[in-house]
Amino acid sequence: MENLSGKTALVTGSTDGVGRLVARELGQAGARVLVHGRDAERGARVVAEIEAGGGAASFLSADLSSLDEARRLAGAVQAEVGRLDILINNAGIGTAGPRQTSAEGFELRFAVNYLAGFLLTLLLLPLIKNSAPARIVNVSSAGQQPIDFDDVMVTRGYSGARAYCQSKLAQVMFTIDLATSLEGTGVTVTCLHPATYMDTSMVRRAGVRPLSTVEEGARAILNLATSPALEGQTGLYFNGLREAKAQAKAYDPEVRRRLQALSLELTGLSTEGVAAFDR
């Protein structure tokens, strides 16, 4: 990885799993790292690991099952740093467990995996654009399923896998839309499936035997966040280190328009959000 001295990165969900490793690697490469999570003790450990390697880091706490917390996190980032060169939306929850809802009453996987990152990204866009060239990376999944707009919150026949896969397709569609709106700004937006069933607590909670390592997933995420070979590449979906095709609905402009309108409504970003997507 190239030297990242002078650059600042925010990695959501970076107190555990692949996010933790990504944060450590960015710090080792010279970036100032904003570590995010819910647990201050675990956050302090990651900050200490980065500092022990000669890097600079600070911890920002936020529970992304609340949109108010996502707003607070955006404010904390803006107060903490004067630039943001890399935003990695990595925080998420998996398929295990019964149906749960967010602080606002939204289905939890849709809220945490998608809506929180949608809101956080749009609120941080002015800072990111002022730091261009900059990169936004959305950590999605190969597990994608078309969104049922008649039951987005999966109130009927709940399945954790269905809810998860809807949220991950939403991330891909957001990536494509935001990339289009940011053309010419020097900010690129990409997304990826980092690796299949990494050895993480999320995978283990789902009762699945890990098939890949967090090191493999981190390498794929860091490739999109830092590789000089991908400079200027935007609106793309990757499977690991290779560009790939997402679920077909991701490329349907009408479906993306419906998701965008719903997302702006649910996050209360109708005015600011429309401006962010306005070419």
The radius of gyration computed from the CA coordinates of the chain, to the nearest angstrom, equals 17
Number of domains in the chain: 1
197 is catalytic: no
Q: Which amino acid is at 208?
A: V
Note whether 157 and 259 are within 8 A (CB).
no
The answer to whether residue 23 sits within a structural domain is yes
Domain for residue 27, yes or no? yes
**What is d(CA 141, CA 167) in angstroms, rounded to the nearest whole number?**
9
Q: Could you tell me the residue range of the domain that residue 21 belongs to?
A: 8-273
**CB neighbours of 76 closer than 8 A, spacing ≥ 6?**
60, 62
Residue 56 within a domain: yes
Chain centre distance of CA 150: 25
3 assigned to some structural domain: no
- Which of 114, 158, 164, 237 does the annotation list as catalytic? 164
Q: Is 153 a domain residue?
A: yes
Neighbours of 235 (CB within 10 A): 16
What's the CATH number where 19 sits? Answer: 3.40.50.720
Do the Cβ atoms of 181 and 128 come closer than 8 Å?
no
Residue 278 lies in a domain: no
Q: Give the integer Cα–Cα distance in Å for 153 and 163.
A: 8
Inside any domain, residue 279: no
Q: Could you tell me the strand order of the sheet in which 8-11 lies?
A: 56-61, 32-37, 8-11, 86-89, 134-139, 187-193, 236-239, 242-244
pLDDT of residue 198: 66
Total-model pTM: 0.94
88: in domain: yes
pLDDT along the chain (279 residues), means of 10: 94 96 97 97 97 96 98 98 98 92 98 98 97 98 96 96 97 98 97 79 64 87 97 97 98 97 93 61
